[in-house]
Amino acid sequence: MATLQLIDHLLFHFINHNLSNPLLDRLMPFVTNNVPLLFVPVLLFLLIKDRRLFVITLLVATVSLSLTDSLSNILKHLFQRPRPFVDLKDAIVLVGKGRSYSMPSSHASNSFSVALVLCYFISKLRDSKLKGLFSIYALTVALVVALSRVYVGVHYPSDVIAGALLGLVTGGFVLYGYSLFSGLFREKKSYALTLIFLFALSLLRILYIQYGPLDLSPDEAHYWDWSRNPALSYYSKGPGIAYIIRASTGVFGNTVSGVRLPAVMFMFLSSLIIYRLSFLISERFDGFESERSRHAVSFLNVVLFNITPLFATFGVINTIDSPLIFFWTLSLLLFWHLVAEWPLKKRSNWWWILLGLMVGIGILVKYSMVFFTGSALLYLLFNREKRGLLLKPGPWMGFLVSVIATTPILLWNARHNWVTLLHTAGQAHLRDGLTLKPARFFEFLGSQLGVIGPVLFVLMLLALYWSFKQKREEGFLFWFFFPTFLFFLLKSLQGKVQANWALPCYISGTVAAGLYIYSHWKSWKNRGRLTIISGIAISLFITLVAHYPALIGLPPKMDPSARLRGWKPLGREVSSIVREFKRPYFIFSDRYQITAELAFYVNGKPRTYCVNLGRRMNQYDLWPGFYDLKGYDAVFVQWGKSPLPPLIARSFDECKRRLLTVKEGRYVLRDYSIFICKDFHGMKRELPDRF
C-alpha cells in the first residue's frame, strides 16, 4: 500500500510540476472548467446527422451523467481521501480549492461516462465517414479532462483512474439498461414505462438527497445514533431501522446519503410490488380482461403511489415508515398469492412461513405492522370461501414465525423493565381514560387530507367502497384499509394521532383508487375527468412543496419541513466552539432531537448526551451518561432564548451563553441557546418518571 501511495505521489509531482509550462497553465484550467463545452461538437454532429438519435443520446447521457455524479460523490464520502493540496505543501493549484474529498475524481468519472454514451450512439449512425473521428475526439476529451485534474493540483492520478473506471462501468450499465428497455418497450410498453419512471425518479431522489435543502430529520439522526449502538431493541422502536441504517452507512459512510439511500431503495422496490399486486388484483374486476389494460392500470397505480405526498416523502426520508411501506406491500402481495386461488389452488406452507417472516421483520421496523395480521384475520373471517384457511396449518405457522421473529424486542424489554410498553401506553394516552377530544378528531381528518391530497383521499374512500361492492376480490383491498384507518380515526377522539400513523392502510387505498379511475374514465364526462386530474395535480403540488417549501415561501411555523432544516449551522457553530477547548469536553442537550442532530453534524460525530430536566424518557437515558465526567468542559444546547436551567448552572463553575439564530430569507428558522460551560462538578443521575 505504501509503495502504491509513493508511486501516486511521484506521478502527481511529475504531472503537476515537471509538465508545468505557460501554455498548459492556461489550457488545463480552461479544460477543467469547461467540460460540457468540449462535448458540444459531438452533440452537434449527432443533431445534424439524426435528430431522433440526438434526443435519445441527450437523454441517456443525462441519466448516465447524473448516476455517475451521484455515485462518485457517495464514494468520496466513503473513502474521505484528502485533496493533494491538503497533504502536499508544494502542490501547484491553478483552480479553486474544493471542500469535497478527492477519491474518485467526479470530473473524470462524468467525462468518461458521457464519452462512452456518445461513442455508443455515434456507432449507430449510418453511412458516416466521420464516426470514428468523433468517437476518438470524445474519448480524447475525457482523457484530457482527467489529466487536467492532476495538472491543476486537485486530484491524484489514482483519483482520476478510479473516476475513469467508475464512469466506464456506470456508462456501460446505463447503456445496457437502455438496450434492455428498448426491447421491453416494444413488448410491454406499460412495464417499460414503469421501470423508466422509477429509475428516473430514484435518480432524482438520490440527487435531491445530495443537493436538496433538507438536513437529517431529528428522527433520522436519532435512529442513526441507535445504529452506532447495536442492540436487540430500543426504547421506542424495534431494532429494524437501526440495522438498516448501520448496513447502509457501513457501505456509503456516515453521511446524509448513507442514512437516506435505503429510503430510495425501499420506495423503488415497493413500487414494483404495487405494480405486480395491481396487475394480479385487476384481473378480478370488470374491464380488465386484457393484459394491456392490466399493465396500464398497474402503471397508473405506481404513479399515484409515488406522487402521493405521504409516500413520496418516505422516498427520501429514511425513518421507520420507509421500510414499513416495503414490508407491508410485500406481505400484501404474498398474502394475495396465498389466498387468491384458494381452495382451487393450494400453496405450500413455506409461502406462509415466508409471509410470517416478512410480517415479523416489519414489526421489528414499526409496531403498526401488527395491523397487517389483524386485517388478514378479518379478511379470512368475513369471507366464506376463504374461512376454511383458518383450519389449515399454514396461516398459523406463518403467525408463529412472525411471533418468533419479534423475540428480540421481548428479550430486550424483559431486561429493561418493559419500557417500550410503558412508552406505547403513554403514546396511546391510556392514562387519560375514555376522554373525548373532538378537536383532535377533526385535526386527524385534516392531516389526512393534507398528506394524501383532498381529492385523492375522497377518491380512495369511494374506490374502496366500490371494490367492496364488486365482491369479485372478496373485499381484499377494503379489509387492508378499513381496520387500520378506523382504529386511528377512533383513537383521534381520545388524543393526538400523528398524520403518518395510518400510513399502511393507504397502500391498498392507492391500488383501489387506480382501479376505480381506470375502469370509470371512459364513462366520466369532462367535469369528472377534470376533477380527477385536478386532484392528482393537487397531490403532486403538495409533494413538490414538501420537497421545496421555498416555492411558496411558507413561514417556518406553517412549514412541516422546517424541522428538517437549520441543523448544519448548529453543527458548524458547536464544532467551532469545541475546537477552542483545551480540556476534555462533552456535548449535551435536554432534548433528544438536538442531542441526535449534534451527534451527526458536529465534526468527528462525537457521543452526545441528553439530560433529564423533567422530560419524558428517551433512548439516551438507557445509555451511559456524562454524570461522572468531573473536570470536563461542556457545551449545552437548548431551543429558543431560554435562560440556563438552575441544575446546569450549579453543576459548572461558569456557563456563558452564545445565541445562534438561523435564518432563511426574511424568516427566522430557529433560535438556539448555546452555553459554553467550564469545569463540570458532576451530577446525580435522575431517570424520567414519564414515558
| Model confidence at 430: pLDDT above 60 | no
Task: Supply the pLDDT for residue 429.
Answer: 59
What's the pLDDT tens digit per position in 451-460? 898 889 999 9
**CB within 8 A of 250, min separation 6: which ones?**
none
Known catalytic residues? 107, 155
List pLDDT tens digits, range 609-619: 999 998 889 99
For residue 433, what pLDDT band results from cuts at 50, 70 and 90? Answer: low
Which of these CATH numbers, 3.30.950, 1.20.120, 1.25.40, 1.20.144, describes 2-187?
1.20.144
Q: Which helix (H) or strand (E) covers residue 680, if one does?
A: strand 667-680
Structure confidence by residue, pLDDT tens digits, 264-283: 999 999 999 999 999 999 98
- 203-212, 567-576, 674-683: least confidently modelled range: 203-212
**So what's the pLDDT on residue 397?**
95
C-alpha cell at 145: 479532462
Residue 415 clears pLDDT 60, i.e. is over it: yes
Q: Is the pLDDT of residue 129 over 80?
A: no
pTM comes to 0.85
Number of C-beta neighbours around residue 408 at 10 A: 15
pLDDT of 434 above 70: no
At 162-185, the pLDDT tens digits run: 898 999 999 998 888 888 777 666
Q: Which distant-in-sequence residues (6+ apart) come within 8 Å of 421 by Cβ?
A: 413
Q: Which residues contact 482 (CB under 8 A, 6 or more apart)?
A: 464, 505
- The helix (H) or strand (E) run that includes residue 454 is helix 454-470
pLDDT band at 127 (very low <50, low <70, confident <90, very high): low
Beta-carbon contacts of 516 under 8 Å, excluding residues fewer than 6 positions away, are 459, 462, 463, 466, 467
The whole-number pLDDT of residue 483 equals: 93
Question: What is the arithmetic mean of pLDDT over 137-159?
Answer: 87
What is the predicted pLDDT for the residue at 374?
A: 94
Q: What are the pLDDT digits (tens) for 61-93? A: 888 888 888 888 878 877 788 888 887 777 888
Rounded CA separation 602/123 (Å): 51
pLDDT digits (tens, 9 = 90+) for 26-66: 888 888 888 888 888 888 888 888 888 888 888 888 888 88
Instruction: Using pLDDT thresholds of 50, 70 and 90, give the confidence band for residue 212.
Output: confident
The pLDDT score that the predictor gives to residue 427 is 66
Q: Band the pLDDT of 474: cuts 50, 70, 90.
A: confident
> Residues 536-539: contacts with CB within 8 Å, 24+ apart?
536/304, 536/307, 536/453, 536/455, 536/456, 538/453, 538/454, 538/455, 538/456, 539/307, 539/308, 539/309, 539/452, 539/453, 539/455, 539/456
Whole-angstrom distance, CA of residue 339 vs CA of residue 57: 46
Strands 633-639 and 585-589: parallel
In the chain, % helix, strand, coil (3-state, to 5) comes to 65, 5, 30
